[in-house]
């Protein structure tokens, strides 16, 4: 049989599909039409990228910059080793997952070595997800665990390991109280509970998280305190020393790994095993092209400042026989990505939006991931976020109780800096490139819905219906703000990495964004804070389990 490339096969299949469509419509292909069919097949082929079909050229958007992959597949000889260490637990990655595990394990007497690729810890978030901690129950935010399981099933389209979700839901409150009571001890001020649950487009959007004052700054400071706690417990923490390879014995068990410092290779033997906590892989273009669909991997803003996230843990796991989530992998993407690369301006909030045609296209009150999906589904993978001269008042009204976590002046300034300012709707239409009458009709329709207190067309929640009627007007061209990939190595509820047959690989664990088995198609923002919450929860549990406390 003649060899056929995947690209060629898919292009041929699309051409065949065109012929089938002609037959179904009652039209027979003619000789004169054959050339146009061939041309269509060629055009289709040009839109196929690594096996993924896209309906249009998305080159106006961008891939993330390339980071340096630390994983090495070549054998490392003893002659290349400059230092040997023995410990109980070896952890690759000093982000929230690795630090939480190191803190828990060291608190319970284990000797821990923690290697970090970057020059400092990497802890970037605002909310810490959890269920039914006292900080939430005392604020009247208790949530029925069964409802969360339902939400997780739907969010993953039933393609998940429910035991992982169940463990997270049942233990995250305990882990959160441990973090605050044992490590933070009130030094970050009052714990701020999440917002009450709300229903949007039939989705339960839960306020299942806590924050500390300052939002993102509070979260980072919390993990600075976790780092200090680890050091006080004797954790051997080394920066600019990435994990590069796992050590597997003749029986298939993981018994240690290699790190690499400026001086050379470090061989670490770990009697309790190795935890991969190396994060995501958005700064590895080869993995992104292979594992993520084009419309999801293209954006204007890249939120993760840790360009060290290049999939090293994924690659190390695969090298020893680990399984991984099926492609395409889900990603965590928010709205608010501006063309200049900025993000998290007022555009993060549920403000009015239009597409290239000057028309509204979705309920702007939906969770961030769904709004980003809707924006990236539009022609060109973008839209225009609109605001007017009462921007500060609108932003404060849209935030409601969450206003304390934001600097209104800052988010408004960022939006203005990324926008085109216009004095009239005619100028606004020109800036967008759409028909003036169409845009005027859209804005009139929106303002009428605001006056009526009901968006009949898209069901935007009443609290977000704020008129666009005060010059100057602003239009920010917007696409996705990419946070992280969230597809990873298959694991179970004990954080054990599973092989391709679903069996645990002895001595190998994964936590955080290098771990999989929870999400499918998209990251579920309506289950608030699960990305950060799972890092803490499973790190906390693993440290206790390996120490024999549970």
List of domains in the chain: 6-53 (no CATH), 90-329+486-546 (3.50.50.60), 331-482 (3.90.700.10)
Strand partners, 484: 332
Whether the model clears a pTM of 0.85, i.e. scores above it, the answer is yes
**pLDDT tens, 172-192?**
999 999 999 999 999 999 999
Report the pLDDT value the prediction gives residue 39, as an integer from 0 to 100.
Answer: 52
Given a cut of 50, the residues of the chain with pLDDT beneath it are: 1-34, 36-37, 40-41, 43-48
Burial class (CB within 10 angstroms; exposed 0-12, middle 13-18, buried 19+) of 45: middle
Report the pLDDT value the prediction gives residue 9, as an integer from 0 to 100.
Answer: 27
Question: The tokens of 129 are what?
Answer: 């997800």
Report the pLDDT value the prediction gives residue 61, as an integer from 0 to 100.
Answer: 83
Instruction: State how far the Cα of 127 lies from the Cα of 526, in Å rounded to an integer.
Output: 13
- The CA radius of gyration of the chain, in Å to the nearest whole number, is 25
- Asked if residues 201 and 363 have their Cβ atoms less than 8 Å apart, the reply is yes
Report the pLDDT value the prediction gives residue 84, as an integer from 0 to 100.
Answer: 99
Report the pLDDT value the prediction gives residue 17, as an integer from 0 to 100.
Answer: 34
Question: The tokens of 275 are what?
Answer: 């935890």
Report the pLDDT value the prediction gives residue 34, as an integer from 0 to 100.
Answer: 44
Distance of CA 159 to the CA centre of its chain: 18
Dihedral-angle region of residue 163 (phi above 0 means left; psi in -120 to 50 means alpha; beta otherwise) = alpha
Question: The tokens of 79 are what?
Answer: 């002659």
The DSSP secondary structure of 509-533, one letter per residue, reads EE-GGGB-SS-BSB--TTBTTHHHH
Rounded to the nearest 10°, the torsion over CA 159, 161, 167, 170 is: 30
Report the pLDDT value the prediction gives residue 22, as an integer from 0 to 100.
Answer: 30
Q: Which residues contact 288 (CB under 8 A, 6 or more apart)?
A: 63, 64, 281, 282, 297, 485
Instruction: State how far the Cα of 278 lies from the Cα of 53, in Å rounded to an integer.
Output: 30
- Secondary structure of residue 326 in the 3-state scheme: coil
Instruction: State how far the Cα of 150 lies from the Cα of 166, in Å rounded to an integer.
Output: 11
Q: State the residue for tokens 């049989």.
A: 1
Report the pLDDT value the prediction gives residue 50, as an integer from 0 to 100.
Answer: 60
């Amino acid at each position: 049989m003649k060899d056929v490339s995947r690209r060629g096969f898919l292009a041929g299949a699309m051409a065949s599909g065109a012929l089938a469509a002609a037959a179904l419509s009652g039209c027979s292909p003619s000789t004169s039409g054959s050339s146009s069919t061939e041309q269509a097949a060629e055009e289709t082929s040009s839109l196929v990228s690594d096996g993924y079909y896209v309906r249009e050229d998305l080159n106006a958007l961008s891939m993330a910059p390339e980071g340096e992959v630390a994983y090495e597949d070549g054998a490392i000889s003893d002659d290349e080793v400059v230092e040997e260490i023995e410990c109980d637990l070896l952890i690759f990655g000093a982000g929230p997952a690795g630090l939480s595990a190191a803190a828990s394990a060291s608190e319970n007497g284990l000797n821990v070595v923690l290697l970090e690729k970057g020059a400092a810890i990497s802890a970037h978030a605002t909310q810490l997800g959890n269920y039914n901690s006292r900080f939430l129950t005392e604020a009247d935010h208790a949530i029925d665990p069964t409802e969360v399981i339902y939400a997780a099933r739907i969010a993953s389209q039933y393609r998940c390991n429910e035991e992982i979700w169940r463990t997270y839901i049942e233990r995250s409150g305990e882990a959160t109280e441990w973090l605050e009571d044992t490590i933070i001890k009130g030094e970050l001020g009052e714990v701020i509970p999440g917002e009450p649950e709300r229903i949007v487009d039939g989705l339960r959007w839960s306020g299942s998280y806590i924050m500390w004052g300052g939002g993102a700054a509070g979260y980072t400071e919390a993990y600075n305190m976790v780092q200090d706690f680890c050091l006080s417990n004797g954790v051997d923490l080394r920066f600019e020393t990435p994990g590069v390879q796992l050590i597997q014995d003749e029986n298939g068990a993981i018994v240690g790994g290699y790190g690499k410092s400026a001086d050379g290779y470090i061989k670490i033997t770990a009697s309790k095993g190795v935890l991969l906590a190396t994060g995501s892989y958005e700064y590895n273009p080869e993995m992104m092209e292979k594992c993520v669909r084009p419309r999801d991997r293209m954006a204007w803003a890249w939120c993760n400042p840790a360009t060290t996230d290049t999939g090293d843990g994924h690659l190390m796991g695969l090298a020893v026989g680990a399984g991984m989530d099926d492609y395409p992998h889900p990603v965590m993407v928010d709205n608010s990505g501006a063309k200049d690369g900025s993000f998290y301006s007022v555009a993060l909030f549920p403000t009015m939006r239009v597409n290239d045609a000057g028309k509204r296209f979705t309920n702007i009150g939906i969770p961030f991931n769904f709004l980003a999906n809707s924006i990236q589904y539009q022609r060109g993978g973008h839209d225009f976020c609109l605001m007017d001269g009462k921007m500060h008042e609108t932003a404060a009204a849209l935030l409601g109780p969450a206003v304390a976590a934001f600097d209104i002046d800052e988010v408004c300034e960022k939006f203005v800096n990324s926008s085109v300012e216009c004095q009239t709707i005619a100028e606004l239409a020109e800036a967008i490139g759409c028909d003036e009458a169409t845009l005027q009709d859209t804005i009139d329709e929106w303002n009428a819905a605001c006056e009526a207190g009901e968006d009949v067309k898209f069901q935007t929640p009443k609290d977000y219906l704020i008129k666009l009627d005060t010059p100057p007007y602003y239009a920010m061209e917007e696409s996705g703000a990419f946070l992280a990939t969230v597809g990873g190595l298959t694991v179970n509820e004990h954080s054990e990495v599973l092989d391709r047959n679903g069996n645990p690989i002895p001595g190998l664990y994964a936590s955080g964004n290098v771990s999989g088995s929870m999400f499918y198609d998209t990251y579920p923002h309506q289950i608030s804070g699960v990305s950060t919450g799972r890092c803490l929860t499973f790190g906390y549990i693993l440290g206790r389990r390996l120490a024999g406390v549970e």
